[in-house]
Amino acid sequence: MILAVGLFALGLVLLALGGDSIVKGASGLSRKLGLSPFTTGLVLVAFATSLPELAVNLTAALHGQGELALGNAVGSNTANVGLTLGAAALAAPLVMRWQTLNRLLWILVLGTVAVLVLGADGRLSQVEGLAMLLAFVGVFFYALMRSRGESRELREDIARFAETSTLPMQNVIRFVLGALLLWIGSLLIVGGPGVHLFGLDLSDVGASHIGQGMGLSPVLTGLIPVAIGTALPEVAAAIAAARRGQGDMVMGHVLGASVFNILVVIGGMAAFGSIDLPMTQMSLKPLVSSFSLPLGYELLAALAFALMLYPVLRGDMRVNRTEGGLLLLAYALYVAVELFASR
């Protein structure tokens, strides 16, 4: 177990380094290809920071650990709001000006509800997965068009995220090195039967082995240790951004990454081949005796955490330290309940 935890931690470090390298490389290349700093910055703020989670989920899915990938996708959304946003607001109050964030919140809510509805039969088909990917493309262009109407100051703040070297060879090296680190890191994190790295057998390491040692199901393994682990670099970045007064960037990441997880990660898994969703039996007596929900309590929890942001984005567009502390407390209670219920 000690070796598994050590390699898991090493994988997290490599994921963080790889994600940073590939984002800088892609940013520089996109600028060289003529994309505007604003467009590039919007991609970086809202979606690019989800690359480590995407790498882990793709690796898990390709090695027959689809439930772990699903758990990580849903768990990352819960961690985005409860852990990342909560920690950032606790470090420094967040003030937002980005009006498009309210629309992104409702897109996240609708996307989560869509998974509940489409997965009511226990699976997501390829057609449904492709529809979710197409929906994400539409969401991106919608966010781009809406954000062009924001204040000049905000657009300049977003564009600054695209500032990096535009030397082609340097950025190609960054991109390739980043992709390599993401690949190695995701293999170390996932591990399990049939997973090899440069000829080394990783059957007895990784999240699957750690989850078994903790008595967790594959879904809960992705939901808690993997989701929290992959969120830690984002938490550090969010705290730093909050202390610089970049509340828009923090909230933009939280909502953009969560939309990405629902539509691209889960939708992409289904698009490559229909996926079975773990079903949870639920009861609402005396109204309904019994019914099933895909990823039941976990997906409902992600929906509940998203809805916690509604008063913020419809009100004064601020998250103070008290509210940040409450988000962290709610997330800690959620994790505790999940762990207790798994016993």
DSSP 149: T
pLDDT on residue 252: 84
Work out the average pLDDT over 270-298: 66
| pLDDT band per the 50, 70, 90 thresholds, residue 333 | very high
Per-residue pLDDT tens over the stretch 10-48: 888 888 888 778 777 777 776 666 666 666 766 766 666
Tally the domains of the chain: 1
Could you tell me which of 50, 99, 107, 45 has the C-alpha nearest to residue 73?
50
DSSP string, 98-118: -THHHHHHHHHHHHHHHHHHH
pLDDT, greater one: 302 or 279: 302
Above 90 in pLDDT, residue 297? no
Query: Domain range for residue 311?
Result: 2-341
Instruction: List Cα–Cα distances, 143 to 103, 271, 314, in angstroms.
Output: 8, 23, 18
pLDDT on residue 133: 93
Helix/strand/coil percent split, the chain, to 5 = 75, 5, 20
Per-residue pLDDT tens over the stretch 234-268: 888 888 888 888 888 888 888 888 998 899 888 88
Average pLDDT of the chain to the nearest whole number: 80
CATH number of the domain within which 304 lies: 1.20.1420.30
pLDDT on residue 132: 93
Distance CA 300, CA 296 (A): 6
Per-residue pLDDT tens over the stretch 143-195: 888 777 767 776 777 666 666 656 677 778 877 888 888 888 888 888 766 66
pLDDT on residue 244: 82
Amino acid type, 5:
V
Instruction: List Cα–Cα distances, 22 to 55, 112, 166, 178, in angstroms.
Output: 12, 28, 14, 4
pLDDT on residue 83: 92
User: Which of the given ranges, 16-20, 103-107, 201-205, 220-224, has the highest pLDDT on average?
Assistant: 103-107
Q: From the CB of residue 102, how many other CB atoms can be counted at a distance below 10 Å?
A: 17
Three-class HEC string of 153-167: HHHHHHHHCCCCCCC
Distance CA 247, CA 97 (A): 8
Per-residue pLDDT tens over the stretch 304-313: 999 998 888 8
Three-class HEC string of 166-181: CCHHHHHHHHHHHHHH
